Amino acid sequence: MINLEMKKRKGIILAGGLGTRLSPISLAISKQLMPVYDKPMIYYPLTTLMLADINDILLISSPDHLNSFKRLLGDGKSLGINIEYASQEKPQGIAQALIIGEKFLNGSPSVLILGDNLFHGNELLPKLESANLKKDGATIFAYPVSDPERYGVVYFNKSGKACSIEEKPSNPKSRFAITGIYFYDDTVISKAKKIKPSLRGELEISSINKLFLQESNLNVEIMGRGMAWLDTGTFDSLNEASNYIRALEKRQGLKIGSPEEVAWRKGWIKDSQLKELGNALKSSSYGKYLLELLKN
Protein backbone atom coordinates (compact mmCIF):
# COMPACT_ATOMS: atom_id res chain seq x y z
CA MET A 1 0.00 0.00 0.00
CA ILE A 2 1.38 3.41 -0.97
CA ASN A 3 1.76 5.88 1.87
CA LEU A 4 0.52 9.09 0.28
CA GLU A 5 1.48 11.13 3.34
CA MET A 6 5.14 10.36 2.70
CA LYS A 7 4.90 12.25 -0.59
CA LYS A 8 3.72 15.46 0.98
CA ARG A 9 6.43 18.10 0.97
CA LYS A 10 7.97 19.00 4.32
CA GLY A 11 9.69 22.23 5.29
CA ILE A 12 13.01 23.01 6.96
CA ILE A 13 13.89 26.40 8.42
CA LEU A 14 17.60 26.90 9.02
CA ALA A 15 17.87 29.38 11.88
CA GLY A 16 21.42 28.60 12.88
CA GLY A 17 24.72 30.32 12.27
CA LEU A 18 26.67 32.64 14.54
CA GLY A 19 25.24 35.93 13.26
CA THR A 20 28.64 37.56 13.61
CA ARG A 21 27.61 40.52 11.43
CA LEU A 22 25.01 41.36 14.07
CA SER A 23 27.41 41.29 17.01
CA PRO A 24 27.31 42.16 19.88
CA ILE A 25 23.51 41.59 19.97
CA SER A 26 23.88 38.12 18.47
CA LEU A 27 26.13 37.11 21.37
CA ALA A 28 23.00 36.91 23.54
CA ILE A 29 20.15 36.19 21.12
CA SER A 30 19.66 34.32 17.87
CA LYS A 31 19.51 36.75 14.97
CA GLN A 32 16.36 35.00 13.76
CA LEU A 33 14.63 36.11 16.97
CA MET A 34 15.51 39.78 16.47
CA PRO A 35 12.60 42.03 15.51
CA VAL A 36 11.72 42.98 11.96
CA TYR A 37 9.39 45.84 12.82
CA ASP A 38 6.68 44.27 15.02
CA LYS A 39 7.47 40.56 14.71
CA PRO A 40 10.42 38.25 15.34
CA MET A 41 12.38 37.58 12.19
CA ILE A 42 11.51 33.87 12.26
CA TYR A 43 7.82 34.68 11.65
CA TYR A 44 8.56 35.68 8.05
CA PRO A 45 10.14 32.44 6.74
CA LEU A 46 7.63 30.44 8.79
CA THR A 47 4.77 32.29 7.12
CA THR A 48 6.35 31.82 3.69
CA LEU A 49 6.33 28.05 4.19
CA MET A 50 2.73 28.15 5.41
CA LEU A 51 1.69 30.16 2.33
CA ALA A 52 3.18 27.34 0.24
CA ASP A 53 0.85 24.88 2.08
CA ILE A 54 3.71 23.43 4.11
CA ASN A 55 2.41 22.46 7.55
CA ASP A 56 5.05 19.95 8.69
CA ILE A 57 8.18 21.88 9.57
CA LEU A 58 11.60 21.27 11.14
CA LEU A 59 13.38 24.25 12.70
CA ILE A 60 17.14 23.89 13.00
CA SER A 61 19.16 26.14 15.30
CA SER A 62 22.16 26.11 17.61
CA PRO A 63 21.87 24.31 20.95
CA ASP A 64 22.02 27.65 22.81
CA HIS A 65 18.94 29.03 21.06
CA LEU A 66 16.62 26.06 20.53
CA ASN A 67 14.71 26.59 23.78
CA SER A 68 13.98 30.21 22.83
CA PHE A 69 12.37 29.08 19.57
CA LYS A 70 10.41 26.42 21.41
CA ARG A 71 9.07 29.02 23.86
CA LEU A 72 8.00 31.24 20.98
CA LEU A 73 6.49 28.67 18.60
CA GLY A 74 5.90 25.53 20.64
CA ASP A 75 4.90 22.45 18.69
CA GLY A 76 2.88 24.48 16.19
CA LYS A 77 -0.49 23.02 17.22
CA SER A 78 -1.88 26.46 18.04
CA LEU A 79 -1.33 27.27 14.34
CA GLY A 80 -2.73 23.97 13.07
CA ILE A 81 0.72 22.81 11.99
CA ASN A 82 3.52 20.59 13.28
CA ILE A 83 6.88 22.07 14.29
CA GLU A 84 9.81 19.90 15.30
CA TYR A 85 13.31 20.96 16.31
CA ALA A 86 16.87 19.84 15.66
CA SER A 87 20.25 21.10 16.79
CA GLN A 88 23.04 22.31 14.55
CA GLU A 89 26.05 21.75 16.79
CA LYS A 90 28.42 23.62 14.50
CA PRO A 91 27.45 25.65 11.41
CA GLN A 92 29.01 23.95 8.39
CA GLY A 93 27.02 25.35 5.50
CA ILE A 94 23.41 25.61 4.36
CA ALA A 95 23.40 22.13 2.81
CA GLN A 96 24.15 20.67 6.24
CA ALA A 97 20.53 21.42 7.19
CA LEU A 98 19.34 18.74 4.77
CA ILE A 99 21.58 16.11 6.33
CA ILE A 100 20.45 17.12 9.83
CA GLY A 101 16.85 16.87 8.61
CA GLU A 102 17.17 13.44 6.95
CA LYS A 103 15.23 11.57 9.63
CA PHE A 104 12.52 14.24 9.71
CA LEU A 105 12.09 14.21 5.92
CA ASN A 106 11.97 10.42 5.84
CA GLY A 107 11.97 10.28 2.05
CA SER A 108 9.62 13.22 1.49
CA PRO A 109 10.30 16.08 -0.93
CA SER A 110 11.35 19.23 0.88
CA VAL A 111 11.60 22.98 0.88
CA LEU A 112 14.49 24.60 2.71
CA ILE A 113 14.27 28.26 3.69
CA LEU A 114 16.81 30.43 5.48
CA GLY A 115 15.61 31.94 8.75
CA ASP A 116 16.87 35.44 7.90
CA ASN A 117 15.24 35.73 4.45
CA LEU A 118 12.06 37.75 3.92
CA PHE A 119 9.94 37.45 0.77
CA HIS A 120 6.97 39.59 -0.23
CA GLY A 121 5.04 40.54 -3.33
CA ASN A 122 1.97 39.84 -5.44
CA GLU A 123 3.72 37.11 -7.40
CA LEU A 124 4.97 35.27 -4.31
CA LEU A 125 1.97 33.05 -3.60
CA PRO A 126 1.51 31.65 -7.15
CA LYS A 127 5.27 31.05 -7.44
CA LEU A 128 5.35 29.16 -4.15
CA GLU A 129 2.28 27.10 -5.03
CA SER A 130 3.70 26.25 -8.46
CA ALA A 131 7.04 25.17 -6.99
CA ASN A 132 5.31 23.02 -4.39
CA LEU A 133 3.32 21.19 -7.08
CA LYS A 134 6.43 20.15 -9.02
CA LYS A 135 7.22 16.54 -8.14
CA ASP A 136 10.61 16.08 -9.78
CA GLY A 137 13.85 18.03 -9.61
CA ALA A 138 14.50 21.30 -7.86
CA THR A 139 13.09 24.81 -8.04
CA ILE A 140 15.11 27.81 -6.90
CA PHE A 141 14.47 31.53 -7.20
CA ALA A 142 16.76 34.19 -8.62
CA TYR A 143 16.60 37.90 -7.87
CA PRO A 144 18.54 40.74 -9.55
CA VAL A 145 20.89 42.50 -7.11
CA SER A 146 23.54 45.19 -7.27
CA ASP A 147 26.10 43.13 -5.32
CA PRO A 148 25.92 39.58 -6.72
CA GLU A 149 29.42 38.77 -5.47
CA ARG A 150 27.90 38.26 -2.01
CA TYR A 151 25.67 35.40 -3.14
CA GLY A 152 25.40 32.25 -5.18
CA VAL A 153 24.90 33.48 -8.75
CA VAL A 154 23.08 31.77 -11.58
CA TYR A 155 23.97 32.36 -15.22
CA PHE A 156 21.55 31.98 -18.13
CA ASN A 157 22.20 31.16 -21.79
CA LYS A 158 20.76 33.14 -24.68
CA SER A 159 17.51 31.20 -24.54
CA GLY A 160 17.05 32.09 -20.88
CA LYS A 161 17.86 28.65 -19.50
CA ALA A 162 20.09 28.31 -16.44
CA CYS A 163 23.47 27.01 -17.55
CA SER A 164 25.81 27.46 -14.56
CA ILE A 165 25.97 28.40 -10.89
CA GLU A 166 28.87 29.97 -9.01
CA GLU A 167 29.17 30.60 -5.28
CA LYS A 168 30.19 34.18 -4.38
CA PRO A 169 32.16 34.87 -7.58
CA SER A 170 34.73 37.66 -7.51
CA ASN A 171 33.76 38.67 -11.05
CA PRO A 172 30.08 37.74 -11.48
CA LYS A 173 28.81 37.48 -15.05
CA SER A 174 25.21 37.89 -13.94
CA ARG A 175 23.21 40.03 -11.49
CA PHE A 176 20.92 37.15 -10.56
CA ALA A 177 21.49 36.02 -6.98
CA ILE A 178 19.97 32.78 -5.73
CA THR A 179 17.59 33.53 -2.89
CA GLY A 180 17.27 31.60 0.35
CA ILE A 181 14.40 29.25 -0.50
CA TYR A 182 14.90 25.92 -2.27
CA PHE A 183 12.35 23.28 -3.33
CA TYR A 184 13.76 19.76 -3.74
CA ASP A 185 12.51 16.32 -4.65
CA ASP A 186 13.29 13.24 -2.58
CA THR A 187 16.75 12.76 -4.13
CA VAL A 188 18.21 15.74 -2.29
CA ILE A 189 19.50 13.80 0.71
CA SER A 190 21.58 11.47 -1.43
CA LYS A 191 22.94 14.53 -3.25
CA ALA A 192 23.73 16.30 0.04
CA LYS A 193 25.76 13.29 1.13
CA LYS A 194 27.79 13.36 -2.09
CA ILE A 195 29.05 16.93 -1.93
CA LYS A 196 32.37 17.88 -0.34
CA PRO A 197 33.14 20.96 1.78
CA SER A 198 34.21 24.01 -0.21
CA LEU A 199 37.44 25.94 0.33
CA ARG A 200 35.51 27.81 3.03
CA GLY A 201 35.00 24.49 4.79
CA GLU A 202 31.23 24.56 4.21
CA LEU A 203 28.71 22.28 2.53
CA GLU A 204 27.49 24.77 -0.05
CA ILE A 205 23.87 24.72 -1.17
CA SER A 206 25.15 25.76 -4.60
CA SER A 207 26.88 22.38 -4.86
CA ILE A 208 23.52 20.63 -4.51
CA ASN A 209 21.89 22.98 -7.01
CA LYS A 210 24.69 22.20 -9.47
CA LEU A 211 23.94 18.47 -9.22
CA PHE A 212 20.31 19.12 -10.17
CA LEU A 213 21.52 21.39 -12.98
CA GLN A 214 23.82 18.64 -14.30
CA GLU A 215 20.79 16.35 -14.47
CA SER A 216 18.86 19.05 -16.39
CA ASN A 217 16.44 18.97 -13.49
CA LEU A 218 16.82 22.48 -12.07
CA ASN A 219 14.04 25.02 -12.55
CA VAL A 220 15.01 28.65 -11.90
CA GLU A 221 12.18 31.12 -11.34
CA ILE A 222 13.01 34.82 -11.55
CA MET A 223 11.56 37.17 -8.97
CA GLY A 224 11.10 40.37 -10.88
CA ARG A 225 9.66 43.81 -10.26
CA GLY A 226 6.91 43.87 -7.72
CA MET A 227 8.74 41.33 -5.59
CA ALA A 228 10.86 41.97 -2.53
CA TRP A 229 13.64 39.74 -1.22
CA LEU A 230 15.38 40.96 1.91
CA ASP A 231 18.35 39.20 3.49
CA THR A 232 18.35 40.55 7.05
CA GLY A 233 21.87 39.54 8.02
CA THR A 234 23.32 42.99 8.75
CA PHE A 235 22.17 45.93 10.85
CA ASP A 236 21.52 48.04 7.76
CA SER A 237 19.49 45.32 6.02
CA LEU A 238 17.63 44.58 9.26
CA ASN A 239 16.68 48.24 9.55
CA GLU A 240 15.70 48.43 5.88
CA ALA A 241 13.48 45.38 6.27
CA SER A 242 11.79 46.88 9.32
CA ASN A 243 11.14 50.14 7.49
CA TYR A 244 9.78 48.24 4.49
CA ILE A 245 7.35 46.21 6.62
CA ARG A 246 6.31 49.24 8.65
CA ALA A 247 5.57 51.34 5.57
CA LEU A 248 3.44 48.63 3.94
CA GLU A 249 1.55 47.72 7.09
CA LYS A 250 0.79 51.35 7.90
CA ARG A 251 -0.46 52.01 4.38
CA GLN A 252 -2.49 48.83 3.91
CA GLY A 253 -3.61 48.13 7.45
CA LEU A 254 -2.59 44.49 6.93
CA LYS A 255 0.14 42.51 8.62
CA ILE A 256 2.94 40.88 6.66
CA GLY A 257 4.39 37.69 8.07
CA SER A 258 1.62 36.78 10.51
CA PRO A 259 1.50 32.97 10.93
CA GLU A 260 -1.71 33.20 12.96
CA GLU A 261 -3.51 35.01 10.14
CA VAL A 262 -2.25 32.60 7.48
CA ALA A 263 -3.30 29.59 9.57
CA TRP A 264 -6.77 31.09 10.05
CA ARG A 265 -7.26 32.06 6.40
CA LYS A 266 -6.22 28.57 5.30
CA GLY A 267 -8.72 27.02 7.67
CA TRP A 268 -6.06 25.31 9.77
CA ILE A 269 -7.44 26.99 12.90
CA LYS A 270 -10.97 28.08 13.78
CA ASP A 271 -12.31 31.50 14.75
CA SER A 272 -12.26 30.51 18.40
CA GLN A 273 -8.59 29.56 18.18
CA LEU A 274 -7.65 32.84 16.50
CA LYS A 275 -9.57 34.68 19.21
CA GLU A 276 -7.63 32.84 21.88
CA LEU A 277 -4.33 33.70 20.20
CA GLY A 278 -5.37 37.36 19.87
CA ASN A 279 -6.49 37.61 23.49
CA ALA A 280 -3.13 36.27 24.66
CA LEU A 281 -1.48 39.26 22.93
CA LYS A 282 -4.26 41.84 23.27
CA SER A 283 -2.09 44.39 25.06
CA SER A 284 -0.02 44.73 21.87
CA SER A 285 -1.03 46.11 18.47
CA TYR A 286 -0.29 42.68 17.04
CA GLY A 287 -2.84 41.00 19.29
CA LYS A 288 -5.40 43.71 18.56
CA TYR A 289 -4.87 43.10 14.83
CA LEU A 290 -5.63 39.38 15.20
CA LEU A 291 -8.86 40.20 17.04
CA GLU A 292 -9.82 42.77 14.40
CA LEU A 293 -9.58 40.07 11.72
CA LEU A 294 -12.56 38.34 13.31
CA LYS A 295 -14.62 41.54 13.34
CA ASN A 296 -13.89 42.33 9.70
pLDDT tens track for 133-189: 998 999 999 999 999 998 999 999 988 889 999 988 999 989 999 999 999 999 999
Asked if the model's pLDDT at residue 262 lies above 50, the reply is yes
- With 50 as the cut, is the pLDDT of residue 4 above it? no
Contacts 24+ apart (CB under 8 A), 163-171: 163/213, 164/213, 165/206, 165/209, 165/210, 165/213, 166/206, 167/198, 167/204, 167/206, 167/207
Per-residue pLDDT band for 1 (boundaries 50, 70, 90) equals very low
User: What global pTM score does this model have?
Assistant: 0.93
d(CA 207, CA 187): 14
* Domains observed in the chain: 4-257 (3.90.550.10)
* SS3 category, 141: strand
pLDDT tens digit string along 210-253? 999 999 999 999 998 889 999 887 888 889 999 999 999 999 99
pLDDT band at residue 18 under the 50/70/90 scheme:
low
